[in-house]
Amino acid sequence: MTASYTKYVHHGKVVFVRKDLKGLHQKFCLCYQCARFKPGQPDNCEIAQAVFGNCVKFGIVTPLWECPVFERGEPQFAPADSPIPPVVRPASIL
């Protein structure tokens, strides 16, 4: 089977993605199920913060599959048509 790809603008950069995977990041990323995940808040998880900083820096999407500090919490899913609020980035990852 040959994969089909599409491109779109994400974090201000044109990116490519497999069509069958576009929009599935939140469904698989542990962060969205973790009590420590608090996007846009100063006490957001340090790991999630750093991963998000890398995503913005390089224009990528990185679902987190494994994490040493995961704490099961209420699922936090952003609507597919709206971005997650901006995350406060520590100076160490800028």
pLDDT at 20: 94
| CA dist., res. 72 & res. 60, Å (int) | 25
Q: Domain locations in the chain?
A: 24-74
Tens-of-pLDDT digits for all 94 residues of the chain? 788 999 999 888 899 999 999 989 988 999 999 999 998 899 999 999 999 999 989 989 999 999 999 999 887 765 444 444 443 434 444 3
> What was the pLDDT predicted at 36?
95
Beta carbons of 51 and 62 less than 8 angstroms apart? yes
pTM: 0.71
- According to the model, what pLDDT value does residue 86 have? 42
Residue 45's Cβ-count burial label (10 Å; 0-12, 13-18, 19+) is buried
